[in-house]
Amino acid sequence: MQRGLNPFLTFLFATLIVLFTGGPVILSLIGSVVPDRILLDSSKALFSEGLNFETYRYVFTGQLPDSYLAETANRAMISDAARQVPQSLLNSGIIAFSSMVLNLLIGAPAAYVFARYVFPGKKLTFMFLILSPLVPAVALVTPVYIMLQTLGLVGTQAGIILVHTAKALPFTVLILSVFFRKMPAEIFEAAVLDHCSRFQTFWRIALPLALPSIGATGLFAFMLSYSEYMFSMVLSGDAATRPVSVVMAALARNTDVSWSLLNTAIFIAIVPTLVLVVFVWRFVVEGLLSGAVKG
Amino acid sequence: MASVELKNVAKSFGRVEAVRDVSLTVEDRELVVFVGPSGCGKSTLLRMIAGLEEITSGELMIGGKPMNAVAAADRGIAMVFQSYALYPHMTVAENMGFALKMLGTEKAEIDRKVAEAAGVLQIEELLGRKPRELSGGQRQRVAIGRAIVRQPDVFLFDEPLSNLDAGLRAQMRVEIARLHERLRTTMIYVTHDQVEAMTLADRIVILNRGRIEQQGSPLELYEKPANRFVAGFLGQPKMNFIPTIAGRSQAGTTLAIAVSGRTVLKLGEGVPVTDGSEIELGVRPDTISIAGPLADLAVPGRIVVVEHLGGSSLLYVQVDGLDQLLTVEQRGKADFAKGQEINLLFDTGQSHLFDGGGSRIGSG
């Protein structure tokens, strides 16, 4: 067997992956800084008028782009929904962060118990947990809505946080329990001999060792919540509590929408996740690498 | 300081009996080695003493106090694991002081004890490092240091050297012996390596299939193995076993190779064998001498393989009527070649006789 991959093939696949993942991001970035009249006019070069940040100005301040101040301009192209983007980013941040924290608070101990202890009903409950994501979300919308309505949580962020936590929890528990199970049993036995209680063994030994995995699963829970649309749409209330996925959908639903404005909103919505991935991912990779070096 | 007493201790995992009816006393300050082939229950027994494994039946006493129901951490023991089981996210010093920290000991006191243990093991310069920055031998020292810091009544070692290479293993073996000398603490040491057992132990306990086969000082077991299993397990190279038939006549009792009928040994008076009984003759490789062809009872054979070890040579000899090659150890610079015909002579006084059930009848 030849070790390593053919560099040409590696490059080819890397390029394809970048094209499909990074491509849309780049396109939306370009689209956001070029005004509509140039975007839609194939006779003009893309950057013939330089960079234009008017749509950004509109999103954050509400001041209309100059070209739409003209009498003849179609005012409907500048959708009001775009004005909700900054607030919705904050809302999504709060929801996704809370859902991530809840996931780790509940998921990490649960995964630890599944990985290290034997208790009645362990197999059944684990199976239930792992199979639950197989139920199509659409089928759950109505029952979940009714449940949250009884609890008085429809139209609140708390309701969305709960649903997102529940959606990500099976993955958190599965990934973390695999990681906890891989830890050598002797370390935990040593901890028992070193006067650790069950909780202390979890808190002082298992958790610090699992930090890279916890970072990864936390990030996963965050992004799952950040991009979730259906439950967010059904359960969210007025503009003040609406998450970004719902606002983006509303924006895209406007068939007349200004391309430039739409791209601006898309790019603004991507930025927080990009920042998060860059920071958390480095930590996760470092952690995984240091854990891998043993002997 | 404490003795460890086991009374009719047994352990079963479901239907599998890992340890059966073991009774044993480890005296205060004694270094006892549990040795046996893999799966013989030696590690299970150690883990039962440690409290990591529940005792199915029987009684365990440490320092005269019953321990069956006492939590592992409160038994006054410290254990060194085969994989070292150091906490990867803590420094060496944190690893060593962790038990004391969990007990709420003051930091200054922990630091003092860790420094002291590090001094004993000469690992002072490693205290700030993480386990992954250490070599195998250093990790093992830290693991032992972690045990020392706790000042236990009993040290338990679970195959601590089996992950090290041969040279390092020999060195650590000596260090553990010196450590025992210095600390004068009861130690129980589990290994599958009979060399470790022979060199370290005050007393060896040989286990097989969950039972004690024999216990005693290393030399006692080497010279008077209770049965074929013990005889075959201890000693390097291994003892030769030759199936023979006893013959009694007025001239005395003799043993002859079962297949070829060649007489190989004349037994002394009073060896309780009956005429025609099957006896397994056990001969250690270093007790076989090489004789001239005319010597009485000489067994002719042909050398198949020669291994020169420097100070001695191992000859593997094919003898008529035996399925297995006989191993012969010759001291000094012996000049032997493959294919050479030689005559072997067994030493009556250093031969072991085993009956059909494998029990030792006596020496020749």
Asked if B320 contacts B300 with a C-beta cutoff of 8 angstroms, the reply is yes
Range A176-203 average pLDDT: 91
Residue extents of the structural domains in chain B: 4-233, 240-363
Return d(Cα B71, Cα A196) in angstroms, integer: 11
- Test the A interface: residue of B62, B98, B162 with most A CBs within 10 Å: B98
pLDDT for the residue numbered B110: 94
pLDDT for the residue numbered A293: 41
| B58-100: pLDDT as tens digits | 999 999 999 999 999 899 999 999 988 999 999 999 999 999 9
DSSP state for residue B68 in the 8-state scheme: T
Residue of A nearest to B77 (CA): A193
| B205-235: pLDDT as tens digits | 999 999 999 999 999 999 999 999 999 999 8
B164 interfacial to chain A (CB closer than 8 Å): no
pLDDT higher than 50, residue B361: yes
B88·A295 Cβ contact <8 A = no
To the nearest whole Å, the CA of B158 is away from the closest chain A CA by 11
Chain A residues with CB inside 8 Å of B87's CB? 187, 190-191, 205, 209
Range A224-231 average pLDDT: 90
Asked if B352 contacts B346 with a C-beta cutoff of 8 angstroms, the reply is no
pLDDT for the residue numbered A237: 78
B132 interfacial to chain A (CB closer than 8 Å): yes
pLDDT higher than 60, residue A146: yes
Mean pLDDT of chain B: 90
DSSP state for residue A206 in the 8-state scheme: I
pLDDT higher than 60, residue A290: no
- Test the A interface: residue of B47, B52, B142 with most A CBs within 10 Å: B52
Return d(Cα B206, Cα A116) in angstroms, integer: 33
pLDDT higher than 70, residue A139: yes
The pairs formed by A5-8 with CB atoms below 8 angstroms and a separation of 24 or more are: none
Thinking of the domain B240-363, which architecture would CATH place it in? Beta Barrel (2.40)
Asked if A176 contacts A214 with a C-beta cutoff of 8 angstroms, the reply is yes
User: Hey, which CATH number is domain A95-253, 3.30.1360.30, 3.40.50.300, 1.10.3720.10, 1.10.510.10?
Assistant: 1.10.3720.10
What CATH number is given for B4-233 in this structure? Answer: 3.40.50.300
Give every CB contact of residue B83 below 8 A, 6+ residues apart in sequence: A184, A186, B163
To the nearest whole Å, the CA of B315 is away from the closest chain A CA by 38
Beta-bridge partners for A231: none
Distances (CA, A) of B65 to A219, B62, B68: 52, 5, 9
- Tell me if ipTM is over 0.85: no
A186·B81 Cβ contact <8 A = yes
In chain B, DSSP finds a helix count (H) and a strand count (E) of 8, 21
B52 interfacial to chain A (CB closer than 8 Å): yes
Chain A residues with CB inside 8 Å of B79's CB? 189-190, 193
Beta-bridge partners for B155: B78, B187
The pTM of the full predicted model, rounded to 2 decimals, is 0.80
pLDDT for the residue numbered B304: 93
pLDDT for the residue numbered A3: 58
Chain B residues with CB inside 8 Å of A292's CB? none
Range A143-147 average pLDDT: 91
A292 interfacial to chain B (CB closer than 8 Å): no
The pairs formed by A194-198 with CB atoms below 8 angstroms and a separation of 24 or more are: A194/B73, A194/B98, A194/B99, A194/B102, A194/B150, A195/B73, A195/B99, A195/B102, A195/B103, A196/B73, A196/B102
Distances (CA, A) of B342 to A111, B309, B310, B331: 68, 20, 21, 16
Nearest to B234 by CA among B205, B201, B207, B194: B194
| B134-181: pLDDT as tens digits | 998 899 999 999 999 999 999 999 999 988 888 888 888 998 999 999
Chain B residues with CB inside 8 Å of A195's CB? 73, 99, 102-103
Question: Residue B355 carries which side chain, given as an amino acid letter?
Answer: D
pLDDT for the residue numbered B66: 93
pLDDT higher than 70, residue A221: yes
To the nearest whole Å, the CA of A224 is away from the closest chain B CA by 30
Phi-psi region of A104 (alpha: psi -120 to 50; beta: other; left: phi over 0): alpha
Beta-bridge partners for B7: B59
* Pairing label, strands B186-191, B154-158: parallel
Residue B237: cis peptide before it, omega within 30 degrees of 0: yes
| B6-28: pLDDT as tens digits | 999 999 988 888 999 999 999 99
Range A131-157 average pLDDT: 89
